[in-house]
Amino acid sequence: MSGFFVHPNALCETRSVGAGTRIWAFAHILPGAIVGRDCNICDHVFIENEVVLGNRVTVKSGVQLWNGLVVEDDVFIGPNATFSNDPFPRSKQYQQRHPVTTICRSASIGANATILPGLTIGQNAMIGAGSVVTSNVQPNAIVTGNPARVTGYADMTRSKVMSLTAGELAAVEGAPVAATEVAGVTLHRLLRIDDIRGNLSVGEFTRQVPFTPARYFTIFDVPGTRVRGEHALRSCEQFLVSLRGSCAIVVDDGKHRQEILLGGPDYGLHIPPMTWTTLYKFSADAILLVLASTFYDPADYIRDYQSYLAGVAEAEPSAAAPMRA
Amino acid sequence: MSGFFVHPNALCETRSVGAGTRIWAFAHILPGAIVGRDCNICDHVFIENEVVLGNRVTVKSGVQLWNGLVVEDDVFIGPNATFSNDPFPRSKQYQQRHPVTTICRSASIGANATILPGLTIGQNAMIGAGSVVTSNVQPNAIVTGNPARVTGYADMTRSKVMSLTAGELAAVEGAPVAATEVAGVTLHRLLRIDDIRGNLSVGEFTRQVPFTPARYFTIFDVPGTRVRGEHALRSCEQFLVSLRGSCAIVVDDGKHRQEILLGGPDYGLHIPPMTWTTLYKFSADAILLVLASTFYDPADYIRDYQSYLAGVAEAEPSAAAPMRA
Amino acid sequence: MSGFFVHPNALCETRSVGAGTRIWAFAHILPGAIVGRDCNICDHVFIENEVVLGNRVTVKSGVQLWNGLVVEDDVFIGPNATFSNDPFPRSKQYQQRHPVTTICRSASIGANATILPGLTIGQNAMIGAGSVVTSNVQPNAIVTGNPARVTGYADMTRSKVMSLTAGELAAVEGAPVAATEVAGVTLHRLLRIDDIRGNLSVGEFTRQVPFTPARYFTIFDVPGTRVRGEHALRSCEQFLVSLRGSCAIVVDDGKHRQEILLGGPDYGLHIPPMTWTTLYKFSADAILLVLASTFYDPADYIRDYQSYLAGVAEAEPSAAAPMRA
Amino acid sequence: MSGFFVHPNALCETRSVGAGTRIWAFAHILPGAIVGRDCNICDHVFIENEVVLGNRVTVKSGVQLWNGLVVEDDVFIGPNATFSNDPFPRSKQYQQRHPVTTICRSASIGANATILPGLTIGQNAMIGAGSVVTSNVQPNAIVTGNPARVTGYADMTRSKVMSLTAGELAAVEGAPVAATEVAGVTLHRLLRIDDIRGNLSVGEFTRQVPFTPARYFTIFDVPGTRVRGEHALRSCEQFLVSLRGSCAIVVDDGKHRQEILLGGPDYGLHIPPMTWTTLYKFSADAILLVLASTFYDPADYIRDYQSYLAGVAEAEPSAAAPMRA
Amino acid sequence: MSGFFVHPNALCETRSVGAGTRIWAFAHILPGAIVGRDCNICDHVFIENEVVLGNRVTVKSGVQLWNGLVVEDDVFIGPNATFSNDPFPRSKQYQQRHPVTTICRSASIGANATILPGLTIGQNAMIGAGSVVTSNVQPNAIVTGNPARVTGYADMTRSKVMSLTAGELAAVEGAPVAATEVAGVTLHRLLRIDDIRGNLSVGEFTRQVPFTPARYFTIFDVPGTRVRGEHALRSCEQFLVSLRGSCAIVVDDGKHRQEILLGGPDYGLHIPPMTWTTLYKFSADAILLVLASTFYDPADYIRDYQSYLAGVAEAEPSAAAPMRA
Amino acid sequence: MSGFFVHPNALCETRSVGAGTRIWAFAHILPGAIVGRDCNICDHVFIENEVVLGNRVTVKSGVQLWNGLVVEDDVFIGPNATFSNDPFPRSKQYQQRHPVTTICRSASIGANATILPGLTIGQNAMIGAGSVVTSNVQPNAIVTGNPARVTGYADMTRSKVMSLTAGELAAVEGAPVAATEVAGVTLHRLLRIDDIRGNLSVGEFTRQVPFTPARYFTIFDVPGTRVRGEHALRSCEQFLVSLRGSCAIVVDDGKHRQEILLGGPDYGLHIPPMTWTTLYKFSADAILLVLASTFYDPADYIRDYQSYLAGVAEAEPSAAAPMRA
């Protein structure tokens, strides 16, 4: 119980507090709580018995951490952010056990946000101030609003690739393939023939489309608030074309992340294996055509971002640390 | 002032606290406040002088209860839930008297919810976490969002009765009337004739429609966020058909409650007298046809849920306690 | 073969021509044709062997009357109006028998109209100049366009009864029931309650609605080009309300005919028994509510206008001749 | 120059008339005209000097055949059908030469149709009565209206393959491939996964799709009145999927013809080489995905139906005569 | 009665025929008809007693000219074109007097067109083949369809001035005013400021707009088939901007005619006095802003094209003959 | 350190507190904070070192005031209202300097509202309870929702001037100009001519429009959530007409404020110089026409409300204090 600071007006009943941690006035920590190293527990915070906090966690004023909450290293919790551990509370009616809410490593909870019980807030996610979070939040996702919806991903650049006018088509004539900031992901201009009898968009395999597909699929009727993908494929290449409407594709190679808004059949996006891919912001009329280099194989999917990062690290043993170590 | 617990770091200035009540650290209760039995007043709560709390009330951390607030028995108030008692506050400008906010028996206020001044939160209602409540909430209603809208009713089942395909019509051929979980409420299949010259939906009185109506009315152009009905009729029977679009009907006999989404002219819902009825989730194009067994008589309406429950109890003296005593 | 005129440049090979008929230059009538009294056969007309013409028929120049055509009394056929008797003609491929086309009494075929084979053009109908008629035309109907659609009925007045503004509602306050030009048909103002929670339209039976219904039905999803009704009911009363959109109702008592465009739930139309009724001009969103005083009985329907007129005449033995005798 | 009949009231100034031909009253044929064998020239027809008629042609009454018109064998021209040979006529202003209008073998022109100058009416086409034809008509096409649009093809059957309900999907579970009436054309059921996060339609190459494609293209934004395709491919296979909306595909193997309305992503249509294919009736939102087994090669296209029939005959030397010889 | 030709198979009963006129086989002209010089009356034409034809008129085969028709000089009437002189014909029911139909100088009636009774077909108008004309046609107008609608004007060029993209705006930077082919009519580029808070379109008087207006007016809610304007102003200048949607403006200085499709607020059209102006092809959402240099004065309007041409000729005594003399 | 009250359970570490200020239980004020006179700092408030509070400020319970916050005189901050000073917080990552958030004089922050970092809340603005404020708020604006949008302005009346029915047009015939509650602002009825060929709205300058404009501009495509204007013009008069859709105009003469919803071309709003004007609530299809009496001159604009009030005061030296001193 040495090496951490408790303000005289605070009430710290636990002895499990890491070195370098500071606990400020009118904060109250119950005896069973476990607090890591170098944490900052601000005024008027309340922490229940069964709560475990990692290292370097910041808890701003007016926050309560209830039984059932797990807070990993490097988490930031803004002032008056509010948690709950009963999905349908009635006075004096107690649950057998609390649903577990996990705030993963490096995530931040914005000021006065509300987090419903039983959710996982993914690594490095960012919850906007005042949001009301009603479902799980993926790693790196930025969510805002009531209810909270994904509005972006942390640490990424954005590009737009919309349908071209005739003039623009001419202008890009000389550059049919463009690199992105993400390893191996390329943007391919497709042939388009406008005709008063209707229009054609064309891609030839091994030419505009850099592989021969084993299958195609289309994604359609996606509610505007939904996110799809959120996985990487071990060996399958993909080629995406937005036939109608638009959707945003976030590609991530473990080091760089980029959002590309595909808005028309003039461009296709080539995604090599081992690229973490997320699709969202589907317009109501969006139809996305996906050409895939292999048959469907569930074993080819990595659906957990941590496993994905591990896979990338393994594949590139000499590589530097991942994006947000 | 015996039989209740005050944490040493709390400041309890009132003596009107019921037995079994616990008051936790850094809570502050002013001298005039009245707190019932078996309440739980958590850390960092503040209660003003004119506030009255019922029995078995839970007030989680970070909540302030201002003058003007009435909290009935068995209410749950989540952490950081926020009340107000001035609809248009300016510093140093004081109102003659505060608008009264009443939280009725067994209601729950979700974590970090905001309740505007002067409202009544009905018995057994549930305010979603993070909601901003701007108008009265009916008994049993579940509300969420900013501004808060009714999204359901507590303790009820849900059914959907949409338009049928030709195949489905054939399948139900043998079962023209179906019971619901609510006493006396039945669902009646109506005749439908599809024709390339336009379609017909038909109901014959005393046959498909179980009574001869004294009047009809139609409900239309209902804003999607509105709730209608919220009453019981003492002697009038009703038969409801959704001619276009859809709407949800919540029927409640005091013991069971069920939501039925009526979505097409293939079915009618027969509602006997003394059924508490609420209509909501009207689609933008909804037209609801109501056939009623008596002429309009304002005296036939019970518009208060408590009175309705009393009426039901009276009619059935030997019955068990109502649904959520 | 006396008593009719043949121009010297005409070629009349039949002897079956009625007195008073005139046949003009370059007309050609084959030996088997039968032509009634007081007809006028203009220049460049051609009439085949199996054709029978009634009395007082006018055939303007450039018309051919092919085998399979029956032309009743008092018909007018405009210049270059064109008939056909093979629905899918190929050179040198002959049908076993021609489909029969009947032009009923007093009908008129407009200039340069085209009549497809096998149709009946009803009594007193009027085919607009240049129309292409592809389906049967009901008695009294006026059709125009390519393909021809009903745009009105001969010898009738028109009224419009649309939804009312608040001001208009007030203005008609004192006149809840209005007569029409057709015997027994009345227009009834219904109660309407506008409310920001949605609107109500109300009718009480034996009060606003002049009878107690035995059934209701609704008509919806009617293609805009379709005509419904076209019948009279022997004993059933009807009350029609346009709940959404609009449709036109043509009522006809055998002496007077009136079209009423019902465009909103503020008015109902009461139709007594023995009224020939036609419904058309349905807007895409139209929903028509019909309340009927008796259960459905196929024997109650008169579906042939001639039989209807006979029935009316029988009921009123001393009455004058019907509208367009 | 013997062996044909001229009615005494006709005026036939040419001597070039084939045996078996009959020319009726008030018809007038100028000296330079050439008329084939077994023709039937009805009353009041007028034929100019430079016109050539094939054998077995029927010309009904009231028709004029102007200079510039070529009428092949077995053509039927209905009564009062009207041709023209000046696209922008002004009195006394003469063109250098007339645009040529060709009515190909076995075509039929409906009664009172109007044909604008300079068009080709394809072999076996059918022009509806009263139509106004403003552009070329393909072989076998049926056109109607003003302006005339393709509404079908002669001598064919029709099928519909719309999106399936869940129940229907289950029902066809055991039959993933269905033959059509046209040689080698098959319908393939595709996998569809409905999901509240949006839906997927999937096809694997060499499995659901019976070949590995060399390219894909999509057809979209087709005006509803347009016809596409109208060609056969010598060596390329195609697989068509209607991703959104619907369109009709007419497939023709030279002996049988079938129209298939593709209305959803649940089915693909496999078209082998040497199938005459026409696409039309595109809904406004239609997007058709085409997978093709070879790269684009203009030399692979047969764009003339006669050449196509010759190609089919050559490939099957012992086969019977084509469909409509 | 010398100097004109009558075919031996024709029947010409009038003596009032101008020199150079030819009348062909099976034509029939009644004794009272008057036919001008150098006309061409083809086979199977019929002309009634009260008809007057101008000089150099062409009447193709199968046409009847009924009492009530006035045909001015240089008119062309295509084959089987059909006139009528009774708007609601019934056999043996005769009108007191026929409505007068006038085909003005140099107009052309397309093949098989139908002209309803009582209309005026303006000078130099062009009626498309197969059209059904149901209302008056303005001078120079081209109409097609059933019913016929204006689709263009004779002898004019067309331009489009749509909304500009940012790139296009930059490209025209150096050319704020452009002449048209019509005397004095100029196109002025207006300032436009795009802003995410909404866009601005700006015109300063005496700068972008070349005069100071005395009034403005807006034209809106114009049915798509309607034509407006059709007049010239003696002294008032106008400046037209299409604020929303698009409409076509036909400007005519008596010598040249041009159609300009105005499709967005980026351009204004300056029209000097004494310019014949017609507005049509309004899109459903079109709002046209008109700034006028003088107050409204009915006396400033010339509404008759002949008077306008006379006014122009007077103003320019030495000018050559008008456009289409 | 005399003249102010600190509750025994509070922790006030600063000496810079004004006379009359009260600091309540469990509040904590750091040594560097500066608090003005007559403030009220409620229970559980926390104030950081660099914060400066004006006089007569109310801070309700559960509020934290972070470094970077400036709170002017007479501000009200509701309970649990939450501020933040890091737009993208991560634990243990510190900004060089905090963005400054300023709450201007007399503004009120509603209960449980969330204010993002770096914003200015304008003088007398009102932040609704539970709002999440993501952008600057103008003086007097009332904002609500998540994200917060302007829904009104403080201390103003509202009027509606929508399109008129024919009856209403007649009713106001005698009153073409109406005053408003704001000095010099008048409402002018414009001439409107309804016509089946399309409608006209007309204004003559110096007659219906009270000045001759030097320029016009139109505002269109304004996102529904946007606010425009928010300025006064020193010398330019304006005349506003809503050509399509509707928008609300808030006019303010420094003493009175009024919102006028302009909803159709029947009325124009005349705004004299030196009127503070705000435009908002644009419907999606709104097109606002503005006629201005002078050419555009940036120097004519006052864009700061304080400067505007100063300008008004200067112009009227003897006037009383402005609206909300």
ipTM: 0.90
| pLDDT 10s digits, A102-151 | 999 999 999 999 999 999 999 999 999 999 999 999 999 999 999 999 99
Is residue B159 within 8 Å of B258, Cβ to Cβ?
A: yes
Residues paired with C21 in a beta bridge: none
CA distance F53 to E277: 69
Annotated active-site positions of E, please?
231
E43 against D171, higher pLDDT = E43
pLDDT at C246 over 90: yes
pLDDT over 90 at A75, yes or no: yes
pLDDT of residue A121: 97
pLDDT the model gives residue B234: 96
pLDDT tens for each residue of A274-314 = 999 999 999 999 999 999 999 999 999 999 999 999 999 98
- If one compares E178 and A42, the residue with the highest pLDDT of the two is A42
pLDDT tier for residue B168 given thresholds of 50, 70 and 90: low
Q: Tell me what pLDDT residue D196 has.
A: 72
pLDDT at residue E105 greater than cutoff 60: yes
Pick from E99, E156, E152: nearest CA to E128 = E152
Place of tokens 């505002």: F219
Residue C27, pLDDT > 60, answer: yes
Q: Which residues are bridge partners to E11 per DSSP?
A: E28
Q: Mean pLDDT in chain E?
A: 91
Q: What is the mean pLDDT of chain F?
A: 90
Q: So what's the pLDDT on residue B2? A: 61
Range list of H helices, chain F = 166-171, 305-315
Q: CB distance C168–F168 less than 8 Å?
A: no
D188-215 residue pLDDT tens: 988 888 777 778 888 889 888 999 999 9
Cα distance between the two ends of chain E: 29
- Tens of pLDDT, residues C247-301: 999 999 999 999 999 988 888 999 999 999 999 999 999 999 999 999 999 999 9
Min mean pLDDT across D184-198, F25-39, F172-186 is at F172-186
Q: Which of A221, A285, A289 sits opposite D289 (nearest CB)?
A: A289
- pLDDT tops 50 at residue F325: no
Q: Does the beta carbon of F108 lie under 8 angstroms from any beta carbon of chain B?
A: yes
Determine the pLDDT at residue F200.
83
User: What 3-state DSSP class applies to A165?
Assistant: coil
C281 inside 8 A of chain E by CB? no
Other C-beta atoms lying within 10 Å of the C-beta of residue E317: 6
From E28, E20, E23, E27, select the one nearest E4 (Cα to Cα).
E20
Looking at every residue in chain C, the average pLDDT score rounds to 91
Residue C231 annotated in active site: yes
Distances (CA, A) of F124 to C122, F121, F232, F255: 77, 9, 18, 14
At residue E324, does pLDDT exceed 70?
no
Torsion, Cα C52 C54 C55 C59, to 10 degrees, reads: -70
* Tens digit of each residue's pLDDT (9 = 90 or more) over A44-64: 999 999 999 999 999 999 999
Give mean pLDDT, residues E173-187: 83
Mean confidence (pLDDT) of chain A: 91
- In degrees, to the nearest 5, what angle opens at C-alpha B17 toward C-alphas B12 and B21? 90
Distances in Å between the Cα of C306 and the Cα atoms of B55, B73, C105 are: 82, 77, 11
Q: Is the pLDDT of residue D302 over 60?
A: yes
How far is the C-alpha of D221 from the C-alpha of D284, rounded, in Å?
7
Determine the longest span between alpha carbons in chain E, in angstroms.
Answer: 81
Residue E236 half-sphere exposure toward CB, CA atoms < 13 A? 25
Mutant choice from C51, C82, C95 vs D, greatest count of D C-beta within 10 A:
C82
Least confidently predicted of A121-130, B315-324, F103-112, F202-211: B315-324
For residue range E254-298, what is the model confidence (pLDDT) as tens digits?
Answer: 999 999 999 888 889 999 999 999 999 999 999 999 999 999 999
Question: Taking 70 as the threshold, does the pLDDT of residue C175 lie above it?
Answer: no
E55 min Cα distance to partner chain F (Å) = 37
> Which secondary-structure segment (H or E) carries E171?
helix E166-171
Report the gap between the CA of F178 and the closest CA in chain E (Å): 21
Q: Search chain F and give the residue with CA nearest A124.
A: F90
Q: E28 contacts in C (CB within 8 Å)?
A: 9, 25-26, 43
Q: What is the pLDDT of residue B199?
A: 84
Q: Name the pairing type of β-strands F52-53 and F69-71.
A: parallel
State how far the Cα of B58 lies from the Cα of A287, in Å rounded to an integer.
Answer: 50
- Average pLDDT in the F242-247 region? 93
For residue B229, give the chain C residue with the closest CA: C197
Average pLDDT, chain D: 91
User: Cα-flanking dihedrals φ and ψ of residue C29, to 5°?
Assistant: -120, 125
Distance from the Cα of residue E13 to its chain's centroid: 36
How many whole angstroms separate alpha carbon C65 and alpha carbon C103?
Answer: 11
Please report, for residues A255, A275, A310, A324, the alpha-carbon distance to residue A183 in angstroms, rounded to integers and kept in the order given: 9, 8, 17, 17
Distance CA C194, CA C10 (A): 72
* Structure confidence at residue C251 (pLDDT): 96
Q: In angstroms, rounded to a whole number, what is the distance separating the alpha carbons of residues C216 and C295?
A: 9
Nearest to E198 among F202, F228, F285 (CB): F228
What is the per-residue pLDDT for F70? Answer: 97
Q: Tens of pLDDT along F258-272?
A: 999 998 888 899 999
Q: In the structure, do chain A and chain D come into contact, i.e. share 3 or more CB pairs under 8 Å?
A: yes
Residues 33-62 of B with CB under 8 A from A: 38, 42-44, 56-58, 60-62
Please tell me chain D's helix, strand, coil percentages from 3-state DSSP, rounded to the nearest 5: 5, 40, 55
- pLDDT for the residue numbered F324: 41
Tokens of A120: 């996982």
> Within chain D, where are the H helices?
166-171, 305-315
For the ranges A11-20, B60-69, B184-193, C313-322, the lowest mean pLDDT is seen at C313-322
Question: Which of D241, D160, D171 shows the shortest CA–CA distance to D205?
Answer: D241
Of these residues, B7, B28, B44, B231, which one is catalytic?
B231
Contact A225, A289 (CB under 8 A): no
Q: What is the pLDDT of residue D174?
A: 54
H/E stretch holding B144 reads strand B141-144
What pLDDT is attached to residue E98?
A: 87
Contact between B21 and B40 (Cβ < 8 Å): yes
d(CA C149, CA C39): 29
Do A203 and D196 make contact, defined as CB atoms within 8 angstroms? no
pLDDT for position A225: 81
In angstroms, rounded to a whole number, what is the distance separating the alpha carbons of residues B67 and B47? 8
A219: contact with B, CB 8 A cutoff: no
E198 touches A at CB < 8 Å: no
What is the token pair recorded at F300? 């004519």
* % of chain B exceeding 90 in pLDDT: 75
Longest dimension (CA), chain B: 81
| pLDDT tens-digit series, residues D56-88 | 999 999 999 999 999 999 999 999 999 999 999
Show which residues of D are catalytic.
Answer: 231
- F11-12 vs E301-302, strand pairing mode: unpaired
The chains found to touch B (3+ Cβ pairs under 8 angstroms) are: A, C, D, F
pLDDT tens per residue, range C124-144? 999 999 999 999 999 999 999
Q: Of B72-81, B167-176, E39-48, which gets the smallest average pLDDT?
A: B167-176
Q: How far apart are CA F262 and CA F268, in angstroms?
A: 8
Say whether pLDDT at E176 is over 80.
no
Residue C173: pLDDT band (50, 70, 90) is low
- Asked if residue B29 has pLDDT above 80, the reply is yes
Q: Which residue has the higher pLDDT, A223 or A27?
A: A27
Output the CA angle C244-C245-C250, nearest 5 degrees.
110
**Is F84 within 8 Å of A56 when comparing Cβ atoms?**
no
- Judge whether residue F167 has pLDDT over 80: no
Q: What is the pLDDT of residues A189-233, one digit of tens each?
A: 888 887 777 788 888 898 889 999 999 999 998 887 888 889 999
Q: Are A110 and F89 an interchain contact pair (Cβ–Cβ within 8 Å)? A: yes
pLDDT band at E318 (very low <50, low <70, confident <90, very high): low
Q: Return the residue in E61, E114, E133 with the most chain D beta carbons within 10 A, the one to mutate for interface testing.
A: E61
F87-144: pLDDT as tens digits: 999 999 998 888 999 999 999 999 999 999 999 999 999 999 999 999 999 999 999 9
Burial category of D166 from C-beta neighbours within 10 Å (exposed 0-12, middle 13-18, buried 19 and up)? exposed
Q: Work out the burial of residue E163: count CB atoms within 10 Å of its CB; fewer than 13 is exposed, 13-18 middle, 19 or more buried.
A: middle
Taking contacts as CB-CB distances below 8 angstroms, the residues of chain D near B165 are 165, 167
Compute the C-alpha angle F36/F39/F44, nearest 5°: 115
pLDDT at C31 over 70: yes
Task: Tell me the DSSP string of B117-168.
Answer: TT-EE-TT-EEPTT-EE-S-B-TTEEEETTTTEEEEETT-EEEEEEPPPHHH
